[in-house]
Amino acid sequence: MAKTMYEKIWDTHFVHQEEGQAPLMYVDRHLMHEVTSPQAFEGLKIAGRPIRNTHSILATLDHCVPTKLADRINLPDPIGAKQVKTMMDNCEEHGLVLYDMESKNNGIIHVVVPEHGFVHPGMTTVCGDSHTATHGAFGALAFGIGTSEVEHVMATQCLPQSKSKTMLVKVDGQLSKFSTAKDIALAIIGEIGTAGGNGFVIEYAGEAITALSMQGRMTLCNMAIESGARAGLVAPDQKTYDFLEGKEFAPKGEQWDQALAYWKSLPSDEGAEYDLVIELRAEDIAPQVTWGTSPEQVVPVDKTVPAPSDFELEGKQIACKSALDYMGLTPGTKMTDIPVDFVFLGSCTNSRIEDFRAAAEVAKGTKVPANVTAIAVPGSYQVKEQAEQEGLDKIFTAAGWEWREPGCSMCLAMNGDQLKPGERCASTSNRNFEGRQGKGGRTHLVSPAMAAATAAAGRFVDIRELTN
Amino acid sequence: MEKYTKHTSVAALMNRSNVDTDQIIAKQFLKKVERTGFGVHLFHDWRYLEDGVTPNPDFELNNPKFEGAKVLVAGDNFGCGSSREHAPWAIDDYGFNTVISTSFADIFYNNCFKNGILPIVVDADTLKALMAEIESNEGVSFTVDLENQTVSTPGGIEVKFEIDGFRKNNLLNGLDDIGLTLKQTDKITSYETKHKEKFPWLWAS
């Protein structure tokens, strides 16, 4: 029978099903950061259970870490410092690979893992972090788990799992040069909603997906979780293999050929059936901006802020009204007339080198207005170094941006980088929830190029008009 | 984990959809390395006034009629967003052991079961009826019977809900998930041996 890629990975990782229990799925890779792991280590210790496969784990420090160099040496927040120290102690005790703040490999977990080729096609990968979906870009079944499950995987290398439904999101046609993977991701969420993917694993396919770079595919899969999906997947192809070849944890020599043969067997079979199929045309996807407090509250940048009456369902009308109140917006306002106070370029969604190149191209020769703060936060030291070699940091600083050290930073604002109440931010991150970037802060999600254009103008800009 | 038993408890109403885990437990409380003490921070930004201490009288859960509630009835897609298990830890520590909605985000749903919380999915009409009953009464108690998979109300609503058999069993008996999996260690070991032969590069360093 024709199988989807998800079904193939599922079947390969099925360990056992005891009567009356859920199927056990084997876990190949376990990624970790400081926020969602300490209670799991504590649980293991209390129960006296060892880690089954320390080799499957790669850890980093990213959520709590300051992005100002001086603060990284002496963490200003004692509770955050304790969390960082706990992570370092746990990794040392169990002999785990940790990219700590002094490591040249340090950065956001979902940025550093691909940089080192730690996740391959067909692997099951988990992390106590919802944006683990990122690694679906490699054709790996990757999803976020809670801390109890982190402990479960450490102790057993397995997770009790129920099989998900499958959704194919097909994007054919060619994306305009102003639209990006981020715009595809937002357009899909606008279409199916933040609960549209609940219970599903999404496979992204079609000409516009195949045409994306590996970094673009990571951006797209990263946001699968914002549509509620368990995971996002893109079939591996030559771009995937080229990306992985030669990386530290990629297979070598004879094993590379063996792995390659396996990876080539992964894409969904012709005629495989999905529980749901959604189709979009790439040409129809304009640069997107969110206006509300949920990623599904999104419009093309040349549109206006909607009114509650624009929505059919009562629940959506209520949500619209409450979002407008929180965001301080009036229906009918052109998105391009909305001024911003802050611009954040970074996060596991958009902090890779291509994101910085795209933003720098727009930022070049511009000047951030005095009333706007713009910060550029590379996803890792590797990205930072590469950007500096290409002179991108100079472009940003000349344009009035701050050039920071890597970390999650203002995506979730745990590390001290945050908005003040009422401040409005154009952000390349993934969530525009109330208070996400600081209590009372107002977040609008955009692509890196849109963020750079917004920083220069002090308001949202339709980047399609810039080159005219 | 505590066993989940049949109970009749005050039901609280949160008529909002897409309540995300950032609202349930805000980022500034994620730095702790313990599992306990999150209840006081539940819904912090909505629950307290500017000073972060004084209860916000406009916040629904601060309504005295919901005091001691164990059942939370909320709008669609409850628990969306981050994987933080601090969200169910906070819900549990506050005193809830049941959340009723039309849908839950996937990771949050899983996390509930690890903490003795029962998430119940009902259809949109049922949710509306349950909400209406809470709204029009001064403190109403619902009876949740996991064994028979029902929710019943004084107003005469009787809902049958679905739940995976194994999840139900584990919750009813307060079983330790990890302990159950560890009983299958020989199966895991034999799987691993075959897996290693088939995918040797997964173990190469």
Q: What own/partner pairs with CB < 8 Å and gap ≥ 24 does B37-40 have?
A: B37/B93, B38/B86, B38/B89, B38/B90, B38/B93, B39/B90, B39/B92, B39/B93, B39/B94, B39/B95, B40/B93
Beta strands in A88-146 (DSSP E): 97-99, 124-127, 141-144
Q: Give the whole-angstrom CA distance, residue A3 versus residue B190.
A: 25
Q: Report the residue from B33, B111, B165 with minimal CB separation from A83.
A: B33
Mean pLDDT over B72-98 rounds to 97
Q: How far is A464 from chain B (nearest CA, A)?
A: 31
Which among B1, B21, B27, B128 is the top mutation candidate for probing chain A, defined by the most A β-carbons within 10 Å of its own β-carbon? B27
Sheet holding B71-74, edge to edge: B118-121, B98-101, B71-74, B7-14, B141-145, B150-152, B158-160
B58 shares a domain with B92: yes
Task: Judge whether B1 lies within some domain.
Answer: no
Task: Judge whether B2 lies within some domain.
Answer: no
The CATH number linked to B71 is 3.20.19.10
Task: Judge whether B147 lies within some domain.
Answer: yes
pLDDT confidence of B1, banded at 50, 70, 90?
confident
B186 shares a domain with B121: no
Question: What domain range is B203 assigned to?
Answer: 176-205
The answer to whether A130 and A149 have CB atoms below 8 angstroms apart is no
B203 shares a domain with B165: no
B104 shares a domain with B46: yes
Task: Judge whether B127 lies within some domain.
Answer: yes
Q: Do A194 and B80 touch (CB under 8 A)?
A: yes
Helix (H) or strand (E) holding A326: helix A314-327
The answer to whether A31 and A130 have CB atoms below 8 angstroms apart is no
**Maximum Cα–Cα distance for chain B, whole Å?**
65
B141 shares a domain with B105: yes
pTM of the model: 0.97
B180 shares a domain with B146: no
B182 shares a domain with B164: no
Q: What is the pLDDT of residues A295-324, one digit of tens each?
A: 999 999 999 999 999 999 888 999 999 999
B85 shares a domain with B28: yes
Q: Do A16 and B192 touch (CB under 8 A)?
A: no
Q: What is the pLDDT of residues A49-103, one digit of tens each?
A: 999 999 999 999 999 999 999 999 889 999 999 999 999 999 999 999 999 999 9
Q: Give the whole-angstrom CA distance, residue A437 versus residue A347.
A: 12
The answer to whether A291 and A299 have CB atoms below 8 angstroms apart is yes
Q: Give the whole-angstrom CA distance, residue A373 versus residue A418.
A: 11
Q: How far is CA A54 from CA A30, A31, A194, A211, A213, in A?
A: 9, 11, 35, 36, 32
Q: Report the residue from B75, B77, B104 with minimal CB separation from A194.
A: B77
pLDDT for A467: 66
B189 shares a domain with B152: no
Q: How far is A392 from chain B (nearest CA, A)?
A: 31
B83 shares a domain with B13: yes
Q: What is the pLDDT of residues A33-64, one digit of tens each?
A: 999 999 999 999 999 999 999 999 999 999 99
pLDDT for A112: 98
Q: Give the whole-angstrom CA distance, residue A245 versus residue A120.
A: 11
pLDDT for A429: 98
Q: Do B205 and A228 touch (CB under 8 A)?
A: no
B98 shares a domain with B37: yes
Task: Judge whether B159 lies within some domain.
Answer: yes
> What's the number of domains chain B is made of?
2
Quickly list DSSP for A382-399. HHHHHHHHTTHHHHHHHT
